[in-house]
Structures are given as structure tokens and as C-alpha cells.
Structure 1
Amino acid sequence: MVNRDSLTGAALCGFGMMILGGSVSLSRLVLDYPILTGQALRYALAAVLLAALLRLFPRLGGTVPASRPTGRELALLAAVALMGLALFNTLLLTALDHADAAVVGTVVGAAPLGLALAGPLLRGARPAARLVTAAGVVVVGTALVHGAGAADGVGLAAALGTLVCEVSFSLLAAAVLPRLGAVRVSAYSCALAVPMLVVAALATGEWARLRMPTATEALILLYLAVMMTVVAFLAWFTGLRLLGVERAGMFTGLVPAATLTVAALQDQALPGLTQTAGVLVVVAGLVWGAAGGRTPAPAAPEPISAPPRSLSGAEA
């Protein structure tokens, strides 16, 4: 029987992934702006907003609001920032430069299956057959939505690296969420990602092209900071804590479905039959997984013996 926490977690994870997927087309409007610099600005603004939220509502900070992250927790948060934000964006851009978006989306779309397998294995448990099957169904649906495309070796390697970052993002975050809470994990992750992206921008020479964003670019970066980072991160991390990584991971399959829906509305054109079928397959996988018994207990704040964006990174 599905309990209240399961329903709340499912709604939050679904909401976060719908924001992420629906923001992909908007992200294209800032492609002419230096990418790494833009991401650094986005996460810096998000970190300030999240810090203000913690200041105003300290009880949102976790089970022990007054405490600071321990050294081990800071290391895990830095890993979340590196894998889920900074490195994810770098590998994603590299993949898109050497492969069609359809190929990258299909590879990264395997994240639900990766989380369904890796989550329990890292806890020393056996993956639930029903969840693995449901995650596999979601992956198939994601592949149908994205379609086929071409890629070279660099593109495939970068896409696989992006997939690893996507899975690691949730697995690492799950280890610190129980004690620190969604707001604090989001705030520290965003703040720690900023210097990483600044270093990457300097190393690649991107800052030689630094300029003021146009009015449109500034508005899009503001939207990405508020909605796609603050709101989507809080929804995802809260849902992740309630559902556990295996069940929450399946909702990453909603990203291409949301992207397809928004693109259809913007272009005023109906999606193809195969893409529509893919969305239905994703929904079927989510329903199958959600009906699979009790939600696993949230990750305890012990060592990770025990994570969008998705093509926009996260998360973009």
C-alpha cells in the first residue's frame, strides 16, 4: 500500500524533474553566452537565495539546524557539487559537441536503471526485481522519446561519463540528506560548485570572451537559478529523502517527456507517434514501480555504504 510519504515523495520528484525537462528549450537561449561562466553565475545566485532561505527559516536546515557540516559531510557535498554540477555540465557539453542530442539523451536516460541497481548494492542489499524491471521500462521509454542519432568515440565516452555523474549526484546526496536536509545540501552544493566552474572557465580560456549578458540571457539565467536550481533541487532532494534513491531515480525518466511536451507547445506541433509511445512507456514504468510495495527507509547519515538536470544539468 502506498503511504503518504511515498505519495509526497513521488509528487516532489516528479515536480522537480518536470521543471528540469521543461527548462531544456529555455536553456538554449543562453548557448551564446560563455557556458561555464553562466553556470557559475547561476549557482552563485542560487547559493545566495538558499542561504537566505536558511537564515529566515533555520528549521529547514535538517534534523540539527544549528550544526554545521562535518569534515566528512563537506567532502561528500564537494563530491555532489563536482559530480552533479560542475563535471556533469562539462561532460554534457563535450558529449553534445561530439554526438547527437538523441544519443546523449538515451545514454543519460539509463540513470533510473543505474540508481535501481547501485542504490541497494552500495548498502549491501539485493536490488528489488520489481524496481529494476520498472526502471528498465522507464529507460526503454526514454530511448523511444529521444530516438536515434550519430556519435563518435569521444561523444559516447562523454555521454557515459555524464551518466555516471547523474547517478553519483543522487547517491552522494542521499548520504547527507537525513541530517542536513534538502535546503542545506542544495545551498552547500551550489556554493561549492562556483569555484570549480570558475577554475574550469579560466582553464579553458572562456573568460577571455566574458561579457555582460543581454536582457534575455539575464532573465533566463535568473530563471535557471530560481526555478531550475533552487525550486527543482529542493523538490528533488526532499523527494529523494522520502523515497530512497531507487524509487526516486525512476522519475528522471520524466525529463524527456517534459521536454517533449514543452517543445510541442512552443512549436505548436504534435509529437510523433514513437515519441508519444515513449512517454506512455515511461508512465507505465513509473506506475509499475510505484505499486511495488513499501518505500525503502531513507539513507542514514552514515558513510556511503549506501543524486534535473538529465540533459539540462542539472541539472544543468
Structure 2
Amino acid sequence: MNTSQKRGTFGAGSAMFLVGTLAAVSATVSGYPVFGGQAVRYAVAALILLAVARFAGGPARRPSVRDWVLLAALAATGLVAFNVCVVAATEHTGPATIGTVIGTVPIVLALVGPLLEGRRPAPGIVVAACVVAAGAALANGLGGGSARGLLLSLGALAGEVCFSLLAVPLLPRLGPLRVSAYSAALAAPMLLAAGLVADGAAVLRVPTGGELAGLAYLSVVVTTVAFLLWYDAIGRLGADRAGLFGGLVPVSAVVTTAALGIDRPGAAEVAGAALVAAGAVLGLRARVAPREPALPEPVTCEAAPIGIARGSA
């Protein structure tokens, strides 16, 4: 494993671990309007990321029309639709079911990610992704619920997949910093609009001290830092390998709640964490098929067609 892959491995693992802390921290903002809080979270993260991008210097490519379409799709699906589906799903099923369904993200990324990058899925990574997904489901406690809850959970799964896959064609041109900044900036007004529909004028209010601290953590750590680490990892490892670390989210949630004294992990959670770790190691050692050679493109003055190629929190 070279230096870039080691950095990607560390970044992907760290990003998903930070995202997993969201479950425990969200308790501090449970009384704040959901969509308004998410809009504030992404707006603050966008301001931080744009400021960092401005002072970081270096060559900056302006997004093309195609880039803006992909960024808007990423924000609408990977950030907005994901949050809407999760919130709606909680009314019809338990967190365990939602977490179990979303925990299958590694399998989808292992199958679809390589195809969008011009290579064949690696059987070893697909098997490893299944192990990771099984571990995540075990750590989540499996769960049950209504058919509507399951469908909404599948919608959240689709949003989570888009969050990674739609970024694939954007990262080489814009880099992880600007992809994170632009997607968060686009998601904030979308979530505010969703909040106006759901909560009306109560979509925003002055937060309490505890809510302010929770929103600050979600904005800076779970969004700003985790987004940067995740998108950098995808560029280094590919969506399939990076996706293996998605199984760390429920494991991190268990660790965080235990560290805060909220709950103690049981045998199922520990076994699930072990499966996630085993699957990640297995996947990182698997061989990856080489990229398919690109066919020569005819010279043309027309813009390339918009394509979806890879796309919470």
C-alpha cells in the first residue's frame, strides 16, 4: 500500500467515524427544527469551506455547466433527499431498520463505482462489502417496520449512494475542497425550502446554548471535516474501496454513545464491529481490475453529454 492509499484509508475511516458520532450529538439538537438545523449546518460548512478555498490559493477551475448540474444533483439527492427520507422514515420504522438499509451502501458502491470509473467490479471487494454490510446490520440490530418505512429507507440509501457516485466526475476537475463547498452551499437553500413546507415560519429560531454547540459540531466536524476527508479518500481509493468504510458509521455510533455514557454496547454490536473491520481489511487487500481502455473520441465542437458517475454529511 503506497502513501496515497494509506492516506485515503485513513481519510475514509476517519470520515465515516466522524459521521457516526452524529447519532449521539443529534440528541443535543433534537428539539430544534430538523430541516432548519440542517440548512444552518450546511450553510456554515459552505462558508468555512469557501473561505478555506479562497485562502488556499492554487489554480481554481470554474465549474462548467455540466459541473453545476452534477453538483446540484449531488446536493439534491445526497444531502437534501437523504435527510428528507431519513426524517420521514423515522415516522414509519425504527432507527435500526434505517441504519441496516443504509448499511448496504458498500455493496452498491462496490458494484456500481468501478463501472463508472471504467473498470470491472472486483469480486474480492464485493465479497468484502457484503461482510461489511452484514456487520453494519448486526451493529444496528437489524430491526423491522412498515413497507413505507422500508421504501423511505431505500430512498435514503439511494441518496447516500449518490453522495459518493455523483462526485466521481467532479473530483478530478474541482477537487474535494470545492466539491464539498459547492454541494453544501447548494443544499442549504434546498433544505430551507423543505423546512418552510414542513414547519412554516418555525423553520428557524435562535438556538439554546446546547443546541448551538451541537449545530457547531455538526457543521465543522461532521460536515466540513468529514466531507473533505471522504471526497479526498474517494479520489485516492476509488468509490468501491472507500465505500467499505461506510460500515464504520453504526460502529462509531455505538462507540460514541458508550463513551458518553448513554448506552453500553452488547454482544451483537461488538460482533458487528468485528465483521466490519474484517470486511474492510479483506477489501483493501483485494485485487482491482484495471481500468478499461478508453475509445478514441472523434473531434467535435459540441459539448459532451451530461452523465451520472458517482454522488451525507
TM-score (normalised: structure 2)? 0.91
Give the Å deviation of 1:208: 3.2
Name the aligned partner's letter for residue 207 of structure 2.
P
- Alignment-derived partner of residue 33 in structure 1: 32
- Verify the 8 A CA contact 1:172 1:304 in the aligned structure 2: no
- Alignment-derived partner of residue 70 in structure 1: 64
Alpha-carbon separation, structure 2, partners of 1:156 and 1:90: 14
Q: Which among 110, 114, 124 is matched to residue 120 of structure 1?
A: 114
Alpha-carbon separation, structure 2, partners of 1:294 and 1:193: 34
- Alignment-derived partner of residue 45 in structure 2: 46
- In structure 2, the CA distance between the partners of 1:209 and 1:276, relative to structure 1 (3 Å rule), is same
Q: Which among 184, 188, 207 is matched to residue 178 of structure 2?
A: 184
- Verify the 8 A CA contact 1:34 1:206 in the aligned structure 2: no
- Alignment-derived partner of residue 266 in structure 1: 260
- Alignment-derived partner of residue 84 in structure 1: 78
**How many residues are treated as equivalent by the alignment?**
301
Q: In structure 1, list runs of 5 or more residues that go unmatched.
A: 60-64, 308-313
Q: What are the within-5 Å matches in structure 2 for residues 1-316 of structure 1?
A: 2-59=1-58, 65-123=59-117, 125-208=119-202, 210-267=204-261, 270-293=264-287, 304=307, 306=309, 314-315=312-313
Q: Per the alignment, in what secondary structure is the counterpart of residue 173 of structure 1? A: coil
- Alignment-derived partner of residue 297 in structure 2: none
- Alignment-derived partner of residue 62 in structure 1: none
- Alignment-derived partner of residue 311 in structure 1: none
Alpha-carbon separation, structure 2, partners of 1:268 and 1:32: 18
Q: Per the alignment, in what secondary structure is the counterpart of residue 63 of structure 2? A: coil
- Verify the 8 A CA contact 1:244 1:295 in the aligned structure 2: no
Give the Å deviation of 1:237: 0.5
- Verify the 8 A CA contact 1:175 1:302 in the aligned structure 2: no
Alpha-carbon separation, structure 2, partners of 1:187 and 1:81: 11
Give the Å deviation of 1:8: 0.9
Alpha-carbon separation, structure 2, partners of 1:228 and 1:207: 27
Alpha-carbon separation, structure 2, partners of 1:231 and 1:295: 31
Alpha-carbon separation, structure 2, partners of 1:269 and 1:86: 30
Identity of aligned residues (%): 44
- Verify the 8 A CA contact 1:37 1:207 in the aligned structure 2: no
- Alignment-derived partner of residue 310 in structure 1: none
Give the Å deviation of 1:272: 1.0
Deviations 1:13-60 (A, max 9, x none): 00111111123200121111011011111111111111110111023x
Name the aligned partner's letter for residue 178 of structure 1.
P
Alpha-carbon separation, structure 2, partners of 1:269 and 1:10: 29
- In structure 2, the CA distance between the partners of 1:141 and 1:69, relative to structure 1 (3 Å rule), is same
Name the aligned partner's letter for residue 281 of structure 1.
L
- In structure 2, the CA distance between the partners of 1:211 and 1:248, relative to structure 1 (3 Å rule), is same
- In structure 2, the CA distance between the partners of 1:132 and 1:303, relative to structure 1 (3 Å rule), is farther
Alpha-carbon separation, structure 2, partners of 1:268 and 1:209: 29
- In structure 2, the CA distance between the partners of 1:207 and 1:79, relative to structure 1 (3 Å rule), is same
- In structure 2, the CA distance between the partners of 1:206 and 1:251, relative to structure 1 (3 Å rule), is farther
Give the Å deviation of 1:154: 1.4
- Verify the 8 A CA contact 2:135 2:271 in the aligned structure 1: yes
TM-score (normalised: structure 1)? 0.90
Alpha-carbon separation, structure 2, partners of 1:53 and 1:161: 33
Q: In structure 2, list runs of 5 or more residues that go unmatched.
A: 295-303
- Verify the 8 A CA contact 2:16 2:248 in the aligned structure 1: yes
